[in-house]
Amino acid sequence: MRRPSNSPTADAKTVEAAAMRLLAGREHSVEELRRKLVRKGYPPDTIEPVIEKLAGKRLVSDERFTSSFVHHHAKQLGVADSQVDEALRHAEVDWVKLAREVRRRKFGAAVPRSLGERAKQARFLQYRGFDAEQLRAAFRDESGEGDDAPDITPDITFEAE
């Protein structure tokens, strides 16, 4: 088995190959995959573009990981899928607020003005499982004001996998 280079020169192909080996075994969340690659000694500045590439190809997906995780554990505990779905629908989570917080933590408080930066941030949130309305809301302040940039957020539909 090839060991990772601890030097900052580890290339993207090497990091991608290591990520694919991890993903071949089971689903991983984006953060879990990132932590495992860092622990293996790959440089963070090489890991991030690889993770973005894999997420863009939907080879790593927080949504798919979460679904797999919940259903696997529910099955182990003998809980019906319908009960899990019902519990998630009634969970007291403010998804819009969470989307705003995730965007601000990653990119800062300022709402992006360029379409390119806005698209990048929207993709980041999409990869983390937020829906189209939550993405649009993440670019507005809590009062619903302050975002006059054009809406480039796609209408996203996730297919069951």
Q: Please state the pTM of the whole predicted model.
A: 0.53
User: Which residues 6+ apart lie within 8 Å of 102 measured at CB?
Assistant: 125, 128, 130, 138
Q: How far apart are CA 118 and CA 135, in angstroms?
A: 10
Give the residue extent of every domain in the chain: 12-60, 63-91, 93-161
User: Which residues 6+ apart lie within 8 Å of 46 measured at CB?
Assistant: 8, 10, 11, 12, 15
Q: What CATH fold (topology level) applies to the domain 93-161?
A: Arc Repressor Mutant, subunit A (1.10.10)
Q: Looking up tokens 């996998």, which residue turns up?
A: 161
Q: How far apart are CA 138 and CA 96, in angstroms?
A: 6
Torsions phi, psi of 7, nearest 5? -85, 155
Locate 34 and state its tokens: 């990132």
pLDDT at 63: 80
Write out pLDDT tens, residues 9-35.
579 999 999 999 999 999 999 999 999
Identical topology for domains 12-60 and 93-161: yes
Of 89, 86, 87, 125, nearest to 104 by C-alpha is 125
- Below-50 pLDDT ranges, the chain: 1, 3, 5, 7-8, 148-150, 153-161
Q: Looking up tokens 């009960």, which residue turns up?
A: 83
Question: How many CA within 13 A on the CB side of residue 72?
Answer: 8
Between CA 131 and CA 96, with CA 116 as vertex, the angle to 5 degrees is 25
CATH class of segment(s) 12-60: mainly alpha
Q: Residue 144 burial by CB count (10 A; 0-12/13-18/19+): exposed, middle or buried?
A: exposed
